[in-house]
Amino acid sequence: MALDMSTLVSLCKRRGFIFQSSEIYGGINSCWDYGPLGVELKNNIKRVWWQAMVNREDIEGLDASILMHPKVWEASGHVAGFTDPLVDCKKCKHRFRPDQLQEKKCPDCGGALTELRMFNLMFKTFMGPVEDESSSVYLRPETAQGIYVNFLNVQSTLRHKIPFGIAQIGKAFRNEITPGNFIFRTREFEQMEMQYFVKPGTDEEWFEHWKEERLTWHKALGLNPKKLQFHQHGTDELAHYAKKAFDVQYEFPFGWQEIEGIHNRTDFDLSRHQEFSGKSLQYFDEATKEKYIPYVIETSVGCDRTLLACLIDAYAEEEERSVLRFHPKLAPIKVAFFPLIKDAGLQELTHKLQEETRPYFLTRYDEAGSIGRRYRRQDEIGTPLCVTVDFDSLKDQAVTVRDRDSMKQDRVSTSQLLEFLRKKIVL
């Protein structure tokens, strides 16, 4: 049975994963705040991505600023071309994308719609005290451009030969006409992007390479492989910069949808920045003495969409419990510690064991309610292991370790506990 999104939204709120932004003021459309467990999950996804993409010889990390020179967005084509068609309802004033409407009337009130017009998705703001056109800047709609304008900085300072890549994680902003489906489509979101610079002529090979690498990465997150597929962009879907594009799609309860795009952006972006800035962005190949503008293979994954896919994929309702079966590397809390009852001796040993584990894993202590209830609470937030200290523990120096998925219990000696936990939870 497909998971009802409202069940997930309410679990996320109840257990501190995701809250509506500015909730006490009635909320603000399509903006969400990650709570204590949500931020851990998100950080884990980012860490796993960074580990896969940057912990290698041919890729460097970067953290470029969100605000950039306005000419960047002219060069990138976003000022002229980053638009969606839009219609307004004349009666209730709601806005729609005409390609998503079944009829020519407003789906909310049946009112007449305005003529179609193009709407630029970039957020515009002003820099400095004067609010005029010369001071207007944009919030970046993608992180990629921060990488392109730093291409030669990174290449020359780290002395990279082509092929090499630059990776970055950061916020992007799009004034989407129809945000929705919880955190799937929002106006402020986080992207994890990597731009790989290659010699023209080798781009198709590298495209295939990265396409496969990225699908493998999603599977390694623990996502059900049956719910992952590629979707190739037809000529009508291709972005202005792309020669070829594949999406990695996940089967959400609301259908197959993109979580990542892999694009062959050719030399479009670097050539345009060279033209608009007047600065050469050519690469000089020492070995062959050739000068050229590299082609770019882009992998661009939404952190929030990946997180939503992970939540949906991990969620299971069983007879007596609901459980989030996160891969241990993603679980917000890795180990929970319980004294069997509120007894000073048990509490003391539980705290001691927790303190020994704290440098390695995020842990939580819970002594409220029955052991069964405490297990359920941890199951619902996806904690892979729970450690219970009982009266026998004081005598035999052993504790019970309970596994979230199998619900199997192991008796483990306290001197071996840390090693046992570290074997089960590989980060």
CB 194 within 8 A of CB 58: no
Which residues on neighbouring strands pair with residue 249, listed in sequence order? 229, 258
Select 304 or 366, whichever has its Cβ closest to ligand ATP.
304
Site string for ligand ATP, 185-204 (x = CB under 6 A): xx--x-x-------------
Does residue 261 bind ligand ATP (CB under 6 A)?
A: yes
Among residues 40 and 142, whose Cβ is nearest to ligand ATP? 142
Min. distance of Cβ 304 from ligand ATP in angstroms? Answer: 5
In the complex with ligand ATP, which residue's Cβ is closer, 241 or 375? 241
Report the 3 state secondary structure along 146-212: HHHCCHHHHHHHCCCCCCEEEEEEEEEECCCCCCECCCCECCEEEEEEEEEEECCCCHHHHHHHHHH
Q: Is the peptide bond before 339 cis (omega within 30 degrees of 0)?
A: no
- Residue closer to ligand ATP by CB (options 272, 305) is 305
Residue from 190, 210, 218 nearest 264 by CA: 210
Interface stretch with ligand ATP, choices 74-82, 122-130, 210-218, 256-264 (CB under 6 A): 256-264
**Minimum gap (Å) between residue 256 Cβ and ligand ATP:** 12
| Distance between CA atoms of residues 211 and 232, nearest Å | 11
Question: Alpha-carbon distance 89 to 70, whole Å?
Answer: 32
End-to-end CA distance of the chain: 31
Retrieve residue 111's tokens.
Answer: 């009112």
Among 259, 353, 386, 401, binds ligand ATP (CB under 6 A): 259
What residue is closest to ligand ATP based on CB?
Answer: 302
Query: What counts of helices (H) and strands (E) characterise the chain?
Result: 13, 23
Helices (H), 178-297: 203-220, 268-277
DSSP letter for 102, please.
S
* 120 binding ligand ATP? (CB under 6 A): no
Binding mask 300-329 for ligand ATP (x = CB under 6 A): xxx-xx------------------------
**Which residue lies nearer to ligand ATP by CB, 247 or 379?**
247
Return the range that interacts with ligand ATP (CB under 6 A); candidates 98-106, 129-137, 213-221, 299-307. 299-307
The reply on whether position 258 binds ligand ATP by CB under 6 A is yes
Stretch that binds ligand ATP, among 74-82, 258-266, 351-359, 410-418 (CB under 6 A): 258-266
Give the containing element (helix H, strand E) for 239. none
To the nearest whole angstrom, how small is the minimum distance from the Cβ of residue 255 to ligand ATP? Answer: 12
Assigned token pair, 422: 């570290």
Distance, in Å, from the CA atom of 93 to the CA atom of 154, rounded to the nearest integer, reads 48
Question: Measured from the CB of residue 67, what is the shortest distance to ligand ATP in angstroms?
Answer: 19
On whether the CB atoms of residues 246 and 211 are closer than 8 A, the answer is yes
Q: Residue 103: in which H helix or E strand, if any?
A: none
Per the CB < 8 A criterion, the answer to whether 210 and 163 are in contact is no
Query: How many chain residues are in contact with ligand ATP, going by CB under 6 A?
Result: 16
Least spacing, CB of residue 145 vs ligand ATP, in Å: 12
Q: Which stretch binds ligand ATP (CB under 6 A): 268-276, 296-304, 328-336, 389-397?
A: 296-304
Residue with token string 């609901």: 322
Contact between 332 and ligand ATP per CB under 6 A: no
Q: How far apart are CA 59 and CA 147, in angstroms?
A: 12
Taking residues 161 to 180 in sequence order and writing x for each that binds ligand ATP by CB under 6 A, - otherwise, the string is -------------x-x----
**In this complex, which beta carbon is closest to ligand ATP, that of residue 258 or of residue 356?**
258
Smaller CB distance to ligand ATP: residue 185 or 329? 185
State the nearest-atom distance from the C-beta of 265 to ligand ATP, in Å. 11
User: How many angstroms separate the CA atoms of 168 and 60, rounded?
Assistant: 9
Which 41-100 residues touch ligand ATP, going by CB under 6 A? none
CB of 301 to ligand ATP, least distance (A): 6
Burial of 159 (0-12, 13-18, 19+ CB in 10 A): exposed
Nearer to ligand ATP, 259 or 310 (CB): 259
Binding ligand ATP (rule: CB under 6 A), the pick from 40, 60, 251, 260 is 260
Q: Which residues bind ligand ATP (CB under 6 A)?
A: 142, 174, 176, 185-186, 189, 191, 258-261, 300-302, 304-305
